[in-house]
Structure 1
Amino acid sequence: MASDAHPAPQHGFAAAFVAGVLDDALDAGAKVYGVSGLQGTGKSTLAAQLVAAATARGLHAVTVSVDDFYLDRPQRQQLARDVHPLLATRGPPGTHDLPLARETLDALRDRRSTRLPIFDKLGDRRVPSGQWREAGEVDLVVFEGWLLGTPAEPADALEAPLNALERDEDAGGSWRRWCNDALARDYPALWRRIDRLLFLQPPGFDIVPDWRWQQEQALRARDPSRPGMTRAQVDRFVQHYERVSRQALRTLPEIADVVVALDADRKPLYRISGI
């Protein structure tokens, strides 16, 4: 059903939409509520708004991003030497500290005090543990990330490269096979810790490079003294994510508990399950 009540999230999603998503989480009894979506779809924005809305209702909620569980740069550089040079780049399956992610979500679910890791994207480094956020007993965890819930591809889908990065830098397919194997083997245990999953569905992958460039500009605007990526670097960076992103677009509409379709301005197009 089309709805004009949900504006684009440049300045946040509409309060009524956020309240509907929060109601969905609480009505389902979700302790860990997953928000999945491709780069630039507004996952972090929605997660922050959900925490604020929950706080306004007297609940203690925290947001946790899968991005904060990236392996630190030295660990990825080791993978690049041992497995494939493309594993130096954060983000694809196999570049996350999954034991830490599972331990963190388990502690939050059990209402145990824990510290939440922080990853500095501009510096491409994990922040020292002494600077991590403290989290006490929580009522709701909003867990957001670009690949949450996405299953691995069948082996035959990996044969042909789908972009210039795969064609020129992974001609033999060893990188994409290694990432797909990691997604099949290591990530389902993390997905099982999500009680309910919402998928922010963009109109297609082709819009993602523009949305990711907007993110990059916002990051640099917050701290102009620090270097960021150029547009050409962003376009190459996004190609690391393209294969799993397209797999998410194919599969998550049937996997997620709630699907919210977005238009080119990130405006929710219709309500599902009362949202």
Structure 2
Amino acid sequence: MPPDAHAAPPHGFPDALVACVLDDALEAGAEVYGISGLQGSGKSTLAAQLVAAAQARGLRAVAVSIDDFYLDPPERQRLAREVHPLLATRGPPGTHDLALACDTLDALRCGRAVAVPAFDKLADRRLPRPSWRCEAADLVVFEGWFLGTPAEPEAALQTPANALEREEDADGRWRRHVNAALARDYPALWRRIDRLLFLQPPGFDVVPAWRWQQEQALQARDPSRAGMTLEQVERFVQHYERVSRQALRTLPGLAEAVVALDAQRRPGPLRKRGSAAARR
């Protein structure tokens, strides 16, 4: 890993770019502005900066992550028993509480105060409801690693994407389930996004290093709690690879705005490409 791979932008995205993205959201009249980006791309950082910039302009703004709607371990273990063992791992389509996600975004869109869930990644569980934050918003910044990504054609599922699929999903049952969930269940959530920005990396190959940096940051916040090793992270990201590659193929042409990132996560300019009507 090169020494400068730690995050660029190391202190967040440039203020000028954040201002351009906020203007893009406000000019479009977006109540829910989506930020889609592969693991470690900086989408949570950009979401936090957008919220701060919106609040500085007198707006009520809140960041919401699709990660906070992961199913808890008991529900994923049920899927692992009934469908496929790989569904015990959080993250891929089919491992989210979509009803809760849709209800939360709908309530926030109405401007009323709502309890927003939070997921503890180190503990691998959703925090108890009494600890959820209560928010009301004029602008919701909704971020997630595969927001807006469409399902793949059935024929594309035949060839394994990586060692995980070859060795642990030889019959394709897991990837077919994930793809079917993406096709059937997630469009209702995507329709709640008024405008979508894609943080476009140079390719999937940068993702393992980016995700390892993210894991190190999580562990640094609480050294008393065990996180994943590098080897575990490398296996973990394989659960996301197929859908990530589908995002890379499709989102540059579907998202209403795109910011290209280089391997050190340095961003290019905001590029706009149209309205949400085309995406839907």
TM-score of the alignment, normalized to the shorter chain, above 0.5: yes
1:4 equivalent in structure 2: none
Q: Deviations over 1:213-261 (max 9, x none)?
A: 0000000000000000000000000000000000000000010000111
Q: For the residues of structure 2 that align with 1:8 and 1:24, how far apart are their CA atoms?
A: 23
Q: Deviations over 1:74-115 (max 9, x none)?
A: 110111011100000000000000000000000000112210
Tell me how far 1:173 sits from its aligned partner: 0.2
Letter in 1 for 2:109: R
1:16 equivalent in structure 2: 16
Contact conserved, 1:150 with 1:252, CA < 8 A, in 2?
A: yes
Q: How many residues align?
A: 267
Letter in 2 for 1:123: A
1:272 equivalent in structure 2: 271
Contact conserved, 1:39 with 1:208, CA < 8 A, in 2?
A: yes
Q: For the residues of structure 2 that align with 1:182 and 1:117, how far apart are their CA atoms?
A: 22
1:193-232 correspondence runs (5 A): 193-232=192-231
Tell me how far 1:22 sits from its aligned partner: 0.3
TM-score (norm 2): 0.94
Against the structure 1 CA distance between its residues 188 and 131, is the aligned structure 2 distance closer, same or farther, given a 3 Å change threshold? same
Gaps of 5+ in 1: 1-6
TM-score (norm 1): 0.96
Contact conserved, 2:117 with 2:132, CA < 8 A, in 1?
A: yes
Alpha-carbon RMSD across the aligned residues, in angstroms, is 1.1
Tell me how far 1:10 sits from its aligned partner: 2.0
Q: Deviations over 1:155-176 (max 9, x none)?
A: 0000111100000000000000
Matched, 1:97 2:97: yes
State the SS of the aligned residue for 1:13: coil
Against the structure 1 CA distance between its residues 29 and 70, is the aligned structure 2 distance closer, same or farther, given a 3 Å change threshold? same
Letter in 2 for 1:23: D
2:4 equivalent in structure 1: none
Percent identity, aligned pairs only, is 75
Matched, 1:84 2:95: no
Tell me how far 1:134 sits from its aligned partner: 0.5
Letter in 1 for 2:271: I
Contact conserved, 2:164 with 2:235, CA < 8 A, in 1?
A: yes
1:3 equivalent in structure 2: none
Matched, 1:31 2:14: no
1:164-203 correspondence runs (5 A): 164-203=163-202
2:139 equivalent in structure 1: 140
Runs of 4+ in 1 over 6 A off after TM superposition: none
Letter in 2 for 1:195: D
2:239 equivalent in structure 1: 240
